[in-house]
Structure 1
Amino acid sequence: MSFCSFNGGEKYKDHFQPGIYTCSKCGFELFGSHSKYQHSSPWPAFTETVHADSLSKVPETIPQSKPNALKVSCGRCGQGLGWP
């Protein structure tokens, strides 16, 4: 399974089969399906990562972002996960 930025519809939002979600750009392991839960956003939601460094989180800098919003990216290659 690969996970990538939201682009009009996330095909893994309602996907709950066993497996590992990986970055679609570099293949780095991000999340295990055991930590996935249903959520109201268009993106899949997880409670934990596969590796301590699976993700990078930095404060969002675009003007329309909400206060305290974080940009979440692949911890290896930096591809954005969830926000274009």
Structure 2
Amino acid sequence: MRNARYLSMLLCMLFSCTGRAQQSKNKPDMHNPHYSRTDTTHLNVSNAEWKKILPADLYAVAREQATERAFTGKYWDADTRGTYYCAVCGNKLFRSDAKFASSCGWPSFFEADRPNSVIYKEDNTYGMQRIEVECARCNSHLGHIFDDGPPPTGKRFCMNSVSLDFEPDNH
């Protein structure tokens, strides 16, 4: 299990150094007609449409399953209390009280905010067997889930910062 985690981190770092997923100064985009923090209706938007709306770095990760470089995302070591949303559509994903320091270089959570806020897909790319985590509202790639997290779930949702928007508590 430890070797698989190491290999996963190594491959993510290797393949993300292409510059396809540089860190964005991403904020909720008022020009994105699909972004809503209250609407949970599933979206069926083509990648061609998303490409017109999203910043290039977010598009690369969310729609092309790229990975930002480890230790470069704005949330990997953040400890401010608040809520994490999908940067593509605004779907509520994680609370900061489920975030933990995993030292993997990406923001890590032990559970999603709601059971139906994310979906899981088999991912056998790069010669690995992993489980991809997508936003349940817009089917954007968020990261992967592993079985090496802390109690109470034992899960580690290893997410890309660029795929997340954050709103601090008492905002």
The structure showing larger relative contact order (alpha-carbon pairs under 8 Å, at least 6 residues apart) is: 1
Please tell me whether the aligned partners of residues 31 and 49 of structure 1 are also in contact (alpha carbons under 8 angstroms): yes
Higher gyration radius (CA): 2
Runs of 4+ in 1 over 4 A off after TM superposition: none
Q: How does 1:1-84 map to 2 (within 5 A)?
A: 5=61, 6-8=67-69, 9-62=72-125, 64-67=126-129, 69-82=130-143
Moved more, 18-27 or 4-13: 4-13
* Paired residue total: 80
Aligned-residue Cα RMSD (Å) equals: 2.1
Q: CA deviation at 1:49?
A: 1.1
Provide the secondary structure at the position in 2 that maps to 1:12: coil
Q: CA deviation at 1:65?
A: 4.2
* Residue segments in structure 1 that go unaligned for 5+ positions in a row: none
| Identical counterparts, % of pairs | 30
The 1:34/1:60 distance shift into structure 2, 3 A limit, reads same
Higher strand share: 1
Contact 1:57/1:71 (CA < 8 Å) preserved in 2?
Answer: yes
Cα shift at 1:47: 1.2
Indicate the structure with greater helix content: 2
What TM-score, normalized to structure 2?
0.42
